Amino acid sequence: MTRTEKLLAELIALPSVNPAFATADGAPAPARQIHGEIRVTDFLAAKAAKAGLDIDFQKVFPDRSNIIVRLLPKNKVQQTILLAPHLDTVGAPDALFTPQRKNGRLHGRGACDTKGSVAAMFTALCELAGSKSRPMDTQIVFVGLVDEEYTQSGSRAFVAQASRLCVPNMLTNGRDARATTLAIVGEPTKLRLVTAHKGSLWLQLETRGKAAHGATPHLGKNAVHEMAKVVDFLETDYAAQLRRRKHSLLGTATVNVGQISGGTQPNIVPAACTISVDRRTLPGETESAVCREIAACLRAKKLTAKVSNTKLAPAPAMETDSALPLVRQFSRSLGQTSPAGVDYFCDAAILAAGGIPSVVFGPGDIAQAHTADEWISLAELERGKNLLLNFLKSLS
């Protein structure tokens, strides 16, 4: 068993379910103490102390903190690499917190999303600290982030205090930050360097009607019927309109009507109906512009619905310039000739919006995330650690 595999198995066995997910498969959560990341942060802090690394905590919630582990260079800090995976997971039955090794894979909640990235990044940092190849001018900072699965409070808090925590003046000089700072956000990318990802909007659309007795429906106005026309428009004409806009790495924006609710009982004409919509955005699209666009399209079709955003915090799309020096250097070290994009949203967008150039990289396949049998390839896990370690050793 490699050090990376051992660490990942230990991390899976320390549940760190985001408290927003209070149940597992609709049943009561196995135990209150599995919620939150504190057991993982304490565990990593003990490991970091044994490796002789600097440790700090950033309180995000009363009992949930980002952990910041730093390897300082031999000389004055000239540039900074952030290794930034998240520590929380979605909920799961008890059995998924017992790691299982089968056919070259490690199974368990968080195996790929994203404790695999945590294990690869943390092990690479510890091995670098114990080698003779410590960078001369580059500090390496492991930032274990909380709450990515819900509102990304960990990355938002880190951005707000990044210069105080680990990178003096990082956010006060945009040119220097772009040239001398890179965040590698840990997510399952199958070891591809990702420089762009989509954003996520959750919208609520509401139609209003007039209640009447079901025996005399002509005396009322059916809000469900009106919403049916809205749903049909979104899933056909509007979806086709989005498919005509293409991003070189991300493809097209998308729309999905995921929930609908209307009426009270069969013999009453429904006075109101609501739907919940997932709208994936491309770089350059904003929440307000998307809401205005949908409202204008509905008016053009003579449909009436109130459009509002229900996302608890902004989740914008991200795109980082692949020509930035540290991005180019990382790409070359991976042997990757062109950047990639992914459909999902992650902490990279929050860090990038805060002035920290960010990319996404990690072992595992997003198709396994949040599944009933989450797993990661152990060969890919170890290769990911080695690729990161080689990159870190190449820094000055």
Banded model confidence at residue 177, pLDDT cuts 50, 70, 90? low
pLDDT exceeds cutoff 90 at 70: yes
Segment 308-322, tens digit of pLDDT: 999 999 999 999 999
Q: What percent of the chain is predicted at pLDDT more than 90?
A: 90
Residue 79: name the closest of 166, 13, 203, 187 by CA: 166
Which region holds residue 359: left if phi is over 0, alpha if psi is between -120 and 50, else beta?
beta
Using omega within 30 degrees of 0 as the cis cutoff, is the peptide bond preceding 236 cis?
Answer: no
pLDDT exceeds cutoff 50 at 301: yes
pLDDT exceeds cutoff 90 at 236: yes
> Mean pLDDT over residues 211-220, rounded?
97
Q: Quote the pLDDT of residue 176.
A: 58
Segment 119-152, tens digit of pLDDT: 999 999 999 999 988 899 999 999 999 999 999 9
Q: Quote the pLDDT of residue 32.
A: 41
Q: How far apart are CA 197 and CA 278, in angstroms?
A: 15
Dihedral over Cα of 177, 181, 187, 189: its sign: positive
pLDDT exceeds cutoff 60 at 173: no
Banded model confidence at residue 22, pLDDT cuts 50, 70, 90? low
Q: Quote the pLDDT of residue 171.
A: 46
> Mean pLDDT over residues 200-223, rounded?
98
Q: How far apart are CA 329 and CA 362, in angstroms?
A: 17
pLDDT exceeds cutoff 70 at 193: yes
Q: State the helix-helix crossing angle for 3-12 and 378-393, rounded to 10 degrees.
A: 120
Q: How far apart are CA 223 and CA 269, in angstroms?
A: 8
| Cross-strand partners of 375 | 107
Report the C-alpha dihedral over residues 220, 224, 228, 229, rounded to 10 degrees.
Answer: 40
Strands 79-85, 64-71: pairing is: unpaired
Residue type, 193: L
For the chain, where are the alpha helices, taking DSSP H only? 3-12, 38-50, 115-129, 153-165, 174-180, 223-233, 239-243, 287-300, 325-334, 347-353, 378-393
Banded model confidence at residue 35, pLDDT cuts 50, 70, 90? confident
DSSP calls for 323-376: TSHHHHHHHHHHT-SS-EEESS--HHHHHHHTT--EEEE-SSBGGGTT-TT-EE
Residue 333: name the closest of 193, 128, 136 by CA: 193
Residue matched to tokens 């057991």: 39
pLDDT exceeds cutoff 50 at 169: no
Q: Quote the pLDDT of residue 132.
A: 86
Dihedral over Cα of 292, 349, 244, 202: its sign: negative
Q: How far apart are CA 121 and CA 83, in angstroms?
A: 6
Helix, strand, coil fractions of the chain, as percent rounded to 5: 35, 25, 40
> Mean pLDDT over residues 88-102, rounded?
95
Find out whether 79 and 330 touch, Cβ atoms under 8 Å. no
pLDDT exceeds cutoff 50 at 282: yes
Segment 250-274, tens digit of pLDDT: 999 999 999 999 999 999 999 999 9
On average, the pLDDT of the chain sits at 93
> Mean pLDDT over residues 84-95, rounded?
95
Q: How far apart are CA 279 and CA 206, in angstroms?
A: 16
Find out whether 121 and 53 touch, Cβ atoms under 8 Å. no
Segment 327-360, tens digit of pLDDT: 999 999 999 999 999 999 999 999 999 999 999 9
Return the CA Rg of the chain: 23
Residue 3: name the closest of 389, 364, 366, 391 by CA: 389
Banded model confidence at residue 28, pLDDT cuts 50, 70, 90? very low
Q: Quote the pLDDT of residue 120.
A: 98
**Which tokens in the block code for residue 312?**
């608890």
Residue 79: name the closest of 155, 183, 192 by CA: 183
**Which tokens in the block code for residue 374?**
């989450």
Give the list of residues 6+ apart from residue 269 with CB closer than 8 angstroms, or none: 209, 210, 211, 212, 213, 214, 217, 219, 220, 221, 222
Banded model confidence at residue 154, pLDDT cuts 50, 70, 90? very high
